[in-house]
Amino acid sequence: MPVWGEDSMPVVHELVRHPLPYTTMVVPTADKDVTSGMAAASQLVSLQATRNVGPYALAGRIREDYERLQGALQSRGYYGGHVTVTVQAEGKTIDGHAPDLAGFLSSIRSGETVTIRLGAVLGEQFTVGQIIVVEDDEGDGKEVAAGEKQQSHVPAVRKVLTLSKGERDSLGMESGAPAVAADVLAIQGRLLGYLQEEGYGLSSVQAPQAILHPERKQIDVQIRMKRGPKLVIGPMALNGLKRVKPDYIRRRILLREGQLYQPSVLEQARLDLGSTGLFASVVQRNGDKVLPLSEQKVPPQRERTTHKKVATQHSPAGVDGALPIDFDFTEGKRHRLTGDVGYSTDLGGRAGVSWLHRNLLGRGEQLRVAAMATGLGGTAQQGLGYDGYVDFMKPDFLQRSQVLDLRVEAIRQLLYSYRQTALLVQGRVERPLWKDFSGSAGVTLEQEHIRQFGRRADYFIASIPVKLDYDGTHRSNPIEPATHGLRVSLGVTPSISMEHQTSFFIPMNMQASTYFDLTHVGLTKPGNSIIAVRVMVGSIQGASTWNLPPDQRLYAGGPGSIRGFRYQGVGPQYGTTKYAIGGTSMDAGTVEFRQRLPKNFGLAAFADAGQVSGNSIPGHGKLRVGCGGGIRYFTPIGPVRVDVAVPINRPHRGDKWELYLGLGETF
Whole-number pLDDT of residue 147: 35
pLDDT confidence bin for 297, thresholds 50/70/90? very low
CB 494, CB 464: distance < 8 Å:
yes
Percent of the chain's residues with pLDDT above 90: 72
pLDDT confidence bin for 138, thresholds 50/70/90? low
Biggest CA-to-CA distance, the chain: 112
Rounded CA-CA distance 475/31 in Å is 38
Determine phi and psi for 161, rounding to 5 degrees. Answer: -90, 145
pLDDT confidence bin for 149, thresholds 50/70/90? very low
Q: Which residue in 320, 294, 308 sits closest to 250, CA to CA?
A: 308
pLDDT beyond 80 at 151: no
CB 278, CB 331: distance < 8 Å:
yes
In the DSSP assignment, the letter for residue 473 is S
Whole-number pLDDT of residue 335: 94
pLDDT confidence bin for 146, thresholds 50/70/90? very low
Count Cβ atoms within 10 A of the Cβ of residue 587 and give its class: 0-12 exposed, 13-18 middle, 19 or more buried. buried
Rounded CA-CA distance 323/265 in Å is 14
Q: In DSSP terms, which residues pair with 470 in a beta bridge?
A: 437, 488
Whole-number pLDDT of residue 372: 96
Rounded CA-CA distance 189/656 in Å is 63
Whole-number pLDDT of residue 315: 64
Q: What residues does each domain of the chain span?
A: 11-121, 127-136+159-226, 231-331, 335-663
Whole-number pLDDT of residue 284: 94
E-strand ranges in 203-320 read: 204-205, 209-213, 218-226, 231-239, 279-286
CB 139, CB 202: distance < 8 Å:
no
User: Under DSSP, is residue 11 helix (H, G, I), strand (E, B) or coil?
Assistant: helix
Rounded CA-CA distance 665/640 in Å is 8
Domain spanning 127-136+159-226: CATH superfamily: membrane protein fhac (3.10.20.310)
pLDDT confidence bin for 483, thresholds 50/70/90? very high
Tens digit of each residue's pLDDT (9 = 90 or more) over 79-90: 999 999 999 998
For residue 69, what is the enclosing H or E element?
A: helix 55-75
Contacts of 666 (CB under 8 A, 6+ apart): 559, 560, 563, 590, 592, 641, 643
**pTM attached to this predicted model:** 0.75
Our separate counts of H helices and E strands in the chain read 9, 29
pLDDT beyond 70 at 10: no
DSSP string, 563-596: TTS-TT-BS-BSTTSS-B--BSEEEEEEEEEEEE
Mean pLDDT, to the nearest integer, of 594-606? 95
Tens digit of each residue's pLDDT (9 = 90 or more) over 177-231: 999 999 999 999 999 999 999 999 999 999 999 999 999 999 999 999 999 999 9
Whole-number pLDDT of residue 654: 87
Tens digit of each residue's pLDDT (9 = 90 or more) over 525-570: 999 999 999 999 999 999 999 999 999 999 999 989 999 999 999 9
Tens digit of each residue's pLDDT (9 = 90 or more) over 421-435: 999 999 999 999 999
CB 199, CB 261: distance < 8 Å:
yes
- Arch. (CATH architecture) of 335-663: Beta Barrel (2.40)
**Mean of the per-residue pLDDT values of the chain:** 88
Tens digit of each residue's pLDDT (9 = 90 or more) over 625-663: 999 999 999 998 889 999 999 999 999 888 999 999 988
Rounded CA-CA distance 516/339 in Å is 33
pLDDT beyond 70 at 164: yes
Of 231 and 157, the structure prediction assigns the larger pLDDT to: 231
Evaluate whether 231-331 and 335-663 have a shared fold. Answer: no
Rounded CA-CA distance 222/130 in Å is 8
Mean pLDDT, to the nearest integer, of 445-456? 92
Mean pLDDT, to the nearest integer, of 338-365? 93
Whole-number pLDDT of residue 185: 94
pLDDT beyond 50 at 394: yes
Tens digit of each residue's pLDDT (9 = 90 or more) over 316-333: 778 889 999 999 999 999
Tens digit of each residue's pLDDT (9 = 90 or more) over 375-384: 988 888 888 9
pLDDT confidence bin for 575, thresholds 50/70/90? confident
Mean pLDDT, to the nearest integer, of 97-109? 90
CB 647, CB 625: distance < 8 Å:
yes
Could you say which of 3.40.50.2300, 3.40.462.10, 3.20.20.70, 3.10.20.310 is the CATH number of the domain covering 231-331? 3.10.20.310
Angle at 70 between CA 68 and CA 73, to 5 degrees: 120
Lowest-pLDDT range of 155-159, 337-341, 363-367, 406-410: 155-159
